[in-house]
Amino acid sequence: MENNFRVILAVKRLKISDVIEATGISRTTLTNLFYERLKNPNYATLQSVADFLDVSIDELVNKDFRMLKTEVR
């Protein structure tokens, strides 16, 4: 499933391990989300990740969303 997880982590200067520690979601699940290999994540997973990142689920999964007006370097 396409998503903005990688971009949001980069903008917030976070690592997958930060999300694991805060949410308890498995490394496998988050890595698959990061590499867009997670086909049908459950709502609870998306909500936990979105809550931790302080974004909406729509911002997390909508590829057309532009979180920042500046580019991430």
Render pLDDT for 54-71 as a digit per residue (tens, 0 to 9): 999 999 998 776 655 444
Q: What is the pLDDT of residue 70?
A: 44
Low-confidence ranges of the chain (pLDDT < 50): 69-73
Domains of the chain with bracketed CATH: 5-61 (1.10.260.40)
Q: What is the pLDDT of residue 67?
A: 56
19 and 47 Cβ atoms separated by less than 8 Å? no
pTM of the model: 0.84
Three-state SS string across the chain, please? CCCCHHHHHHHCCCCHHHHHHHHCCCHHHHHHHHCCCCCCCCHHHHHHHHHHHCCCHHHHHCCCCCCCCCCCC
Q: What is the pLDDT of residue 71?
A: 45
